[in-house]
Amino acid sequence: MTFNAIAERLNIEGFLKVRGKKFRVAHVHSILRNRLAKEELLNLEHQPVRSDFSVEVVDKTILMSDFAI
């Protein structure tokens, strides 16, 4: 279907955009373009990245016992 045919079909069936307006060709094109771009990003294979992350745990109860709170 063409973008014009899709917009006409959506309007005939009573669909409205988020703000309550009718669909136009440019809106349909934009929606489909953004959807395709999003699907492309979701389907990309990414290489795992490893880092030298480490965590150090300090028991503060021993340190605070000197202050006798």
> Does a structural domain hold residue 27?
yes
Task: Tell me whether residue 11 is in a domain.
Answer: yes
pLDDT > 70? residue 66: no
Query: What digits encode the pLDDT tens for the residues 23-57?
Result: 999 999 999 999 999 999 889 888 888 888 888 88
Q: How many residues does the chain have?
A: 69
Overall domain count for the chain: 1
14 within a domain of the structure (yes/no): yes
- Residue 58 domain flag: no
Q: For residue 64, what pLDDT is reported?
A: 63
User: Domain range holding 25?
Assistant: 3-42
Query: pLDDT of 8-22, one tens digit each?
Result: 999 999 999 989 999
Transcribe 1-49 into DSSP letters: --HHHHHHHHHHTT---TTSPPP-HHHHHHHHHHHHHHHHHHT------
**pTM of the prediction?**
0.56
Domain contains 38? yes
Cβ neighbours around 7 below 10 Å, total: 20
Q: What are 2's two structure tokens?
A: 């063409």
Banded model confidence at residue 62, pLDDT cuts 50, 70, 90 = low
